[in-house]
Structure 1
Amino acid sequence: MNPRRVLAVLAIAELLAMAPWFSASAVAPTLAGVWQLSPAETAWLTISVQLGFVAGAMVSAVFTLADRLSARRLVAGSAVCAAVATLGVAAAGDIKVGVACRLLTGAALAGVYPPGMKIAAGWFKEGRGLAIGVLVGALTLGSASPHLVRWAVAPAAWRVVLAVAAVSAIAGGLLVLRVPSDGPFAAPSPPFSLAAAPRILKDPATLLANVGYLGHMWELYAMWTWIAAFVAASEHARRGAQVDVTGVAALVTFAVVGSGAAGCWLGGKYADRWGRTLVTSAAMVVSGSCAVLVGLFFGASLAALLPVLLLWGITVVADSAQFSAAVSELAPRDYVGTALTLQTCLGFLLTCATIYLLPNIAGAIGWRWSMSVLA
């Protein structure tokens, strides 16, 4: 199997496997009513996934699992675990069980996302930025997919959204096993070393890439998590508080988050030509500007609001893969998987703060200007 075909299979597999991430977030308005949740409790449906991911990534990084185990088998097994945990949310009767299952979902997805990037890095040396960009674009589209399913079904059918995400994850886990190996550029499994993670974190070049990644993550997941609430509040302001806008908000959220796939592809394509620094800087300037300016279009028609949101959706994640590609090139060759896992661990830990912060700010000043804190 040639590298391009491997990338296609891997991208589809990761797209399918990442569906559980926002599965509960997509049905959060319904769950808030069914489980009688406050806005802060509703936020935990996503925060718990982030914390679970951090815990899973930390364990993987400390024990260098992504480098010592077959990355393909790790992705496959983790995807199945994420599917089981997602079905657990569907069966849960209250927020406590739901959050516990979401923690497990996040921990399992720590074995899907970073090892997937490691496989891509193992198959591409030239054009690595584009390859990881395509992969992260697929992950982005997969993360958005539950919002599309939510739009297609009635609000009361929230368990269907979760079940579809679970089946999708199982399919992705099986598909990744079609990739023949971790790649011709993957290093042999290194010996176990507790010193590997600290050594990676202390490397100056890798540290700079990770600092940039943290700036990117401050904005990304809070925007993805709360864009549906922002759109719903905007539509209520325009059409009246009694109008049901959950379907429209779900469809717009799928389009905005999913548009990031194009941003990842464009970012990868031009970063390999023009340099990662230029592309990541430009993407962060544009996405930060969108975060500040989107409030001007709050309450306006979707014809005016949607173009700004789509531009934001494209640029907010366009730099993500390039920070990861940089780390894959700067880290020790035999610990690329561990370096990527550490990077995502730190980034997702930061997202917990902004995901929790944003609805509290919205409660104080309204949704119109709340997004500006992400700039």
Structure 2
Amino acid sequence: MLAEIAGMSLWFMSAAILPDMVAETAISEFRQAALSSAVQAGFVVGAVASAVSGLPDRMDPRRLFALCAIAAALANASLLVVTPGGNLAILARFVTGALLAGVYPVGLKIAVGWGQKDRGFLVGALVGALTFGSAAPHLLALAGGADWRWSVSIASLASVAGAFLCLAAALGPFHAAAGRFDIRTIGAAWTNRKVRLAYAGYLGHMWELYAMWAWIGLAATVSFAMSMPEAEAIALGRLLAFGAIAAGGVACVVGGLFADRFGKENIAIVALVVSGCGAVASAITFGGPAWLTILCVLIWGAAILPDSAQFSALVADHSPPDQTGSLMTFQTALGFALTFATVQLTPVLALAIGWQAVFIIMALGPAFGIAAMLRLKQLTR
């Protein structure tokens, strides 16, 4: 879990330090968005390559995790020497995302090897760790102040440390490796109806997740700036972004504790309902009293994640053990392909129609996910 936290601390680094980079160097709005969406695009490419090659099921996942975490740390560290917001910086973020495809899904593969009856909890804990790692850049940016290079350096060092932690881990008794590559494994994402519905729920969840995570700090800053000085609004926006993402990590672990008892689909549905309502409530309170906006965003952040772990656990439940790594990796590839568009378009839409309308649009994803989970429940009765 510590290895996952450390490795995923690279994900939102550019979004967290963006205000300080913009203060130092003029960066167009398109390039500002590209610094975040490039990570999503890179992850998709890396995840598809990993799933199609079957690496998560054919190679020792600990070694794959460690190699990718170290290489991602080096790619992230290159931000220290390239022009902020330049082509090389965007390329570095793309490469970082591609390499993180060997960290997050591979971590899932390791986690599901440790149990079957408590798989909801195991995956929930792993996704919770991922969430704390994703929230870390906002905390590092807050601690580093205007020195964004310090934040980049610490995150890179943490990822290297995570690589060695993973190498020291053991594989569980339910770990299964594939003897050879079989392209038909990926076909199960469509031919296996239960897996297909788990994928559909995951896509509804991903519609809002990374757009919210990537831009909630900026959106909150805009909201707070309507009633307080800009410097205070930026600091509070960063703190709220960390709190909202971290709240999801805590809720993910708690949701995992109940998922194996009350049903993974049920936990996913509850999370989707509260998340969608949280998005709408955050839109209604936008620009209003800061404490009310903070409350709504924290509830949204807490509810936005617990379903993610259960979608992955459902794929594992309905897949052959020697195919879970590839199918979960392909699941994340499809989800992050969607987030490439949502992360890139979110700030553009916010300029055109405002953050309140964007939050309402985000709530459409949970509605789609609820429909998929209700159908899956019917099939598993």
Query: Does the TM-score normalized on the shorter chain lie above 0.5?
Result: yes
State the 1:33 CA deviation. 3.7
Q: Which residue of 1 aligns with 2:97?
A: 106
CA RMSD of aligned residues (A): 1.3
State the 1:348 CA deviation. 0.4
Distance 2:28 2:187 in 1: 40
State the 1:357 CA deviation. 1.9
Q: Which residue of 1 aligns with 2:124?
A: 133
Distance 1:200 1:366 in 2: 37
Q: Which residue of 2 aligns with 1:124?
A: 115
Q: Which residue of 2 aligns with 1:31?
A: 21
Q: Is the 8 A contact 1:150 1:247 kept in 2?
A: no
Q: Runs of 5+ in structure 1 lacking a partner?
A: 1-10
Matched, 1:317 2:308: no
Name the SS of the counterpart of 2:134 in structure 1.
helix
Q: Which residue of 1 aligns with 2:51?
A: 61
What letter matches 1:61 in structure 2?
A: A
* 1:98-247 correspondence runs (5 A): 98-155=89-146, 157-181=147-171, 183-239=172-228, 242-243=230-231, 245-247=233-235
Distance 1:200 1:51 in 2: 21
Matched, 1:292 2:280: yes
Q: Is the 8 A contact 2:111 2:126 kept in 1?
A: yes
The structure 2 residue matched to 1:252, chosen from 221, 224, 240, is 240
Distance 2:326 2:231 in 1: 48
State the 1:250 CA deviation. 1.1
Identity of aligned residues (%): 40
Once structures 1 and 2 are overlaid, which stretch shifts more, 131-140 or 302-311? Answer: 302-311
Q: Which residue of 2 aligns with 1:3?
A: none
Name the SS of the counterpart of 1:319 in structure 2.
helix
* 1:335-346 correspondence runs (5 A): 335-346=323-334
Distance 1:225 1:303 in 2: 21
Matched, 1:347 2:340: no
State the 1:188 CA deviation. 3.2
What letter matches 2:11 in structure 1?
A: W
TM-superposition CA deviations, 1:161-208 (whole Å, max 9, x none): 111110010011100111122x21112332122232123432111111
Q: Is the 8 A contact 2:188 2:195 kept in 1?
A: no
Are the structure 2 counterparts of residues 303 and 216 from structure 1 closer, same or farther at C-alpha, using a change threshold of 3 Å?
A: same
TM-superposition CA deviations, 1:23-81 (whole Å, max 9, x none): 11111122234342222211111100001000000110111000000011111111001
Distance 2:323 2:5 in 1: 25
Distance 2:119 2:134 in 1: 22
State the 1:218 CA deviation. 0.2
The structure 2 residue matched to 1:367, chosen from 344, 348, 355, is 355
Q: Is the 8 A contact 1:358 1:371 kept in 2?
A: no
What letter matches 2:226 in structure 1?
A: A
Distance 1:368 1:212 in 2: 24
What letter matches 1:111 in structure 2?
A: G
Distance 2:189 2:351 in 1: 40
State the 1:101 CA deviation. 0.5
Q: Which residue of 2 aligns with 1:6?
A: none
TM-score normalized by the length of structure 1: 0.94
Q: Runs of 5+ in structure 2 lacking a partner?
A: 364-381
Distance 2:250 2:290 in 1: 21
Distance 1:76 1:189 in 2: 20
What letter matches 1:122 in structure 2?
A: G
Distance 1:305 1:244 in 2: 15
Distance 2:228 2:177 in 1: 60
Distance 2:143 2:6 in 1: 18
TM-superposition CA deviations, 1:105-152 (whole Å, max 9, x none): 001100000010011100111211001101100100011001001111
Once structures 1 and 2 are overlaid, which stretch shifts more, 83-92 or 300-309? Answer: 300-309
Distance 2:78 2:190 in 1: 35
Are the structure 2 counterparts of residues 131 and 97 from structure 1 closer, same or farther at C-alpha, using a change threshold of 3 Å?
A: same
TM-superposition CA deviations, 1:248-285 (whole Å, max 9, x none): 21111111111111111122111111111111111111
